[in-house]
Structure formats: structure tokens, C-alpha cells
Amino acid sequence: MKVASVCILLAVLLCSAAVADATVYAYASTCARCKSIGAKYCGYGTLRTKGVSCDGQTMIRSCADCKARFGRCVDSYITECFL
């Protein structure tokens, strides 16, 4: 392979890994709402400021997923979804 081809392939693999590893932190008003998006646990550490944390949730992987569930998404250094 040429060096340019190897560089392009490496760039594609790195970008794919970055997208696959993206984490969205989800918060909801109730534990039941967290469970509805596949959360394994409900954390109550930030109840007053953000709501119940939906630990281990599996359904929201992007801001688009959050908005599809009528949530508010904050995408900065970390991505947060408030349901």
C-alpha cells in the first residue's frame, strides 16, 4: 500500500472509533423515565440540579436521539440529555 492510502485508512478508523465511543450523559425527572431508555441504575447525586442520572442507558447516543425523545440536549465538552 502507498503511504497516502495507509494514512487515509488510519484516519477513517480513528474517526469511527471516536464516534462509536461517544457517551451521552442522560438525566430524567424520575427513575421510571430512566428505565424507559434502558438505564441499568438511577443515580440520585444531582437530583436538585440536573435530575436523576440514568446510569448505563443504551438508547440515547446523540443529541438527535435525545431530541427524538423530546429532551433538551447540551453538547459542549460532554454531551448531556435532559428528559
Kindly state whether residue 3 falls inside one of the protein's structural domains: no
- Radius of gyration over every alpha carbon of the chain, rounded to an integer in angstroms: 17
Greatest pairwise CA separation for the chain in angstroms: 56
Distance CA 82, CA 74 (A): 8
Kindly state whether residue 53 falls inside one of the protein's structural domains: yes
Kindly state whether residue 14 falls inside one of the protein's structural domains: no
Compute the C-alpha angle 36/61/69, nearest 5°: 45
4-59 pLDDT, tens digit per residue, is 443 344 444 444 334 445 689 999 988 999 999 999 989 876 556 778 899 999 89
Question: Which residue would you say has higher pLDDT here, 75 or 3?
Answer: 75
Q: Which residue range(s) make up the domain with 32?
A: 24-82
pLDDT at 75: 87
Kindly state whether residue 4 falls inside one of the protein's structural domains: no
Q: Give the total number of structural domains in the chain.
A: 1
Kindly state whether residue 78 falls inside one of the protein's structural domains: yes
Distance CA 60, CA 7 (A): 32
Kindly state whether residue 31 falls inside one of the protein's structural domains: yes
Q: Does the pTM exceed 0.75?
A: no
Kindly state whether residue 72 falls inside one of the protein's structural domains: yes
